[in-house]
């Protein structure tokens, strides 16, 4: 029997599209953190100073509140959130502990150069319960970084400053012979808990935040952050 003609015809290949690489990383991180027990929470990108700064213990004298760092809108009545932490404030005001939320999303800072963009993505996490401490925060950070970069990845914790956490830390990861800053974290400042009507004598919390573009750049070897936002098909095709 002779073979049918169709066998010799070229196949009807069809191209798959792709989720944007930033959203791929965001989704992977979200799934990872959900597997640890965190729930996803979302909130508005146009925020008030109260939620973006005041409730988070960022004083009026903090440089972040200056016009050169924050985009203000609507005659300074509102602003474009500078971090996703206001989402967590809303979560804390809504529920009492134990709480475990992550808030992935877009954030805005008044920057525009080869390494900074006026819009970028963050994923922040918050866990509030009784007896939460810094040593447990370290454990969680190890788990996150080892999941992202491999079990043998070396981490370095060093003190930093975020008004909403105390103690605060930056976590560096060793790539080759270079330490790269990956995330910020800390024990939730008791003042923030009190601002959110949570009894800080009973509960404590831990919080952390990662810049998604930074993780994506490391993961995919992208050197210029602007490449993510040119919508160049040749670039996007590589992330199927």
Partner 1 sequence: MKIAYPHLLNFFKEKPSLEELSDKLLQLGHEHEIEGDIIDLEITPNRGDCLSLKGIARDLNYFYKAELDRDTYEGDIPKLDFSFQNKAKDLCPNISFVEIEIDGSISGYKPYLENYFKDLKINKNNFFTDVSNYLAYETGQPTHCYDASKINDTLVLEKRNKKEKFKTLLGSEIELEGDNLVFTIGGVAVDLAGTMGDESTACNNKTTKVLVECAYFKPEEILGKARQYNLTSEAAYKFERGVDYLAQESVLRRFLAIVSDHTKIKSLSMHSEQNKTDLQQINFDSNKLNSILGTNINEKDQLKYLESLGFKNCKSMMVPSHRSDLEHTNDLAEEVARMVGYDNIAAESLALGIKVKSMEQSLEEKCKNLFVSHGFFEVINMPFTTEESESSISVDNSIDKQRAKLRTNLINSLKNNLAYNQNRQKDSIKFFEIADIYTKASQEKRMAALVNGRSNKNFKEFNAQLDYAYLKGLLNTIAYELLGEGLTYSHDSCDEYEFFEHITFKGKDIGGIGKLNNNLVDSKSKTPVFAFEISLDGLNLSEKKIEKTSDFPAIFRDISMSIDNPEVLKELSDKLTESVKKMSLIKESFIFDYFENKKLNIMKVGYRFKFQTEDKSLTDKEVDGLMKVLTDKALSINGVNIEGL
Q: Which of residues 151-170 bind partner 1 (CB under 8 A)?
A: 156-161, 163, 166-170
118 contributes a contact to partner 1 by CB under 8 A: yes
Helix 21-36, helix 134-149: angle, nearest 10: 130
Part of the chain binding partner 1 (CB under 8 A), chosen from 81-89, 145-153, 188-196, 214-222: 188-196
Considering only residues 124 to 143 of the shown chain, the ones binding partner 1 according to CB under 8 A are 127, 129, 131, 133-140, 142
How far is it, in rounded angstroms, from Cα 171 to Cα 159?
Answer: 9
Complex with partner 1: residue 1 or 22, whichever CB lies closer: 22
91: nearest Cα among 122, 56, 63? 56
First to last CA, the chain: 41
44 contributes a contact to partner 1 by CB under 8 A: yes
Work out how close the CB of 55 gets to partner 1 at its nearest, in angstroms, rounded to a whole number. 17
Residues in contact with partner 1, shown as a per-residue x/- string from 167 to 186 under the rule CB under 8 A: xxxx----------------
Tokens matching residue 18: 């792709």
Q: Count other C-beta atoms under 10 Å from residue 14's C-beta.
A: 5
Query: CA 207, 27, 153: angle at the middle one, nearest 5?
Result: 65
Q: How far is CA 12 from CA 3, 8, 233, in A?
A: 19, 12, 21
Considering only residues 206 to 225 of the shown chain, the ones binding partner 1 according to CB under 8 A are none
Complex with partner 1: residue 101 or 210, whichever CB lies closer: 101
Complex with partner 1: residue 1 or 151, whichever CB lies closer: 151
Complex with partner 1: residue 1 or 158, whichever CB lies closer: 158
Tokens matching residue 209: 């935040």
Work out how close the CB of 2 gets to partner 1 at its nearest, in angstroms, rounded to a whole number. 22
């Amino acid at each position: 029997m002779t073979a049918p003609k169709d066998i010799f015809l070229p196949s009807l290949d069809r191209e798959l599209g792709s989720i944007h690489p930033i959203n791929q990383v965001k989704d992977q991180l979200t799934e990872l953190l959900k597997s640890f027990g965190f729930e996803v929470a979302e909130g508005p990108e146009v925020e008030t100073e109260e939620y973006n700064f005041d409730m988070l213990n960022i004083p009026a004298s903090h440089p972040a509140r200056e016009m050169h760092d924050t985009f203000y809108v609507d005659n300074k009545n509102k602003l474009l959130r500078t971090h996703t932490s206001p989402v967590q404030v809303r979560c804390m005001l809504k529920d009492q502990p134990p709480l475990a939320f992550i808030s992935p999303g877009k954030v805005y800072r008044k920057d525009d150069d080869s390494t900074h963009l006026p819009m970028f993505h963050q994923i922040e996490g918050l866990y509030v319960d009784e007896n939460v401490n810094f040593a447990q925060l370290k454990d969680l950070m190890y788990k996150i970084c080892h999941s992202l970069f491999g079990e043998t990845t070396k981490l370095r914790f060093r003190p930093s400053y975020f008004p909403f956490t105390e103690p605060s830390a930056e976590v560096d990861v060793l790539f080759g012979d270079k330490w790269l800053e990956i995330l910020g974290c800390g024990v939730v400042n008791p003042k923030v808990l009190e601002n959110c009507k949570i009894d800080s004598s009973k509960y404590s919390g831990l919080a952390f935040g990662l810049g998604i573009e930074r993780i994506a750049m490391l993961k995919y070897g992208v050197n210029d952050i602007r490449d993510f936002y040119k919508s160049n098909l040749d670039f996007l095709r590589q992330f199927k």
